[in-house]
Amino acid sequence: MTDTIRTELAAQTKAAAAEDPNDRLMAGMAPQAQSFWAEAVNECSMRVESQLSGGAEARAKVAEAERAALASPEVQAAAQVYVNCMRTQGFTVDVNPFVAPQAISEAEHGASAAEIATVDEYNNAWRTCVQPWQKAFDQKLFG
């Protein structure tokens, strides 16, 4: 992705984003009041998210199911397939497909053509190589 495309996407995203109704209200507040308001809004959002996700007990059940799926022989074997596939594409990765190598994480913050190309190559390889892992994980988790 070129810098021009990134700039255009950022401008489009900002233009398409709905205006936060709190912005105008907060603009007229003293800094300390802005801080208290932001804390209250964040706390309210966290409570709503917790209720919608079923609370701590439900999140614990989901986490346990994910741990069991990750530990299964089928997902472990698929993780090795993922690692081998990424290696053939020139990338040394961890068995967790959602942890990018440090060099890729650093390149994601870069702006040079080489860094952008490296990230694009990694993402293309990842999309191909992760499929068997994702299928095995989903099968174990959801049946």
DSSP 37: H
Query: Coil, helix or strand for 112?
Result: coil
Place 123 in a pLDDT band, splitting at 50, 70 and 90: very high
Q: Is the pLDDT of residue 18 over 70?
A: no
User: Given pLDDT bands bounded at 50, 70 and 90, which one contains residue 20?
Assistant: confident
Q: Which two tokens stand for residue 40?
A: 């209250």
The DSSP-derived string for 35-87 is HHHHHHHHHHHHHHHHHHTTHHHHHHHHHHHHHHHHHSHHHHHHHHHHHHHHH
d(CA 142, CA 5): 38
Angstrom distance (rounded) from CA 48 to CA 10: 29
Whole-number pLDDT of residue 126: 96
pTM of this prediction exceeds 0.85: no
pLDDT, position 53: 75
| Confidence (pLDDT) at 90 | 95
Read off the DSSP letter of residue 2. -
Extents of the domains making up the chain: 10-52, 60-143
Please identify which residue in the block is written with the tokens 């984003």: 17
Residue whose token pair is 């986490």: 63
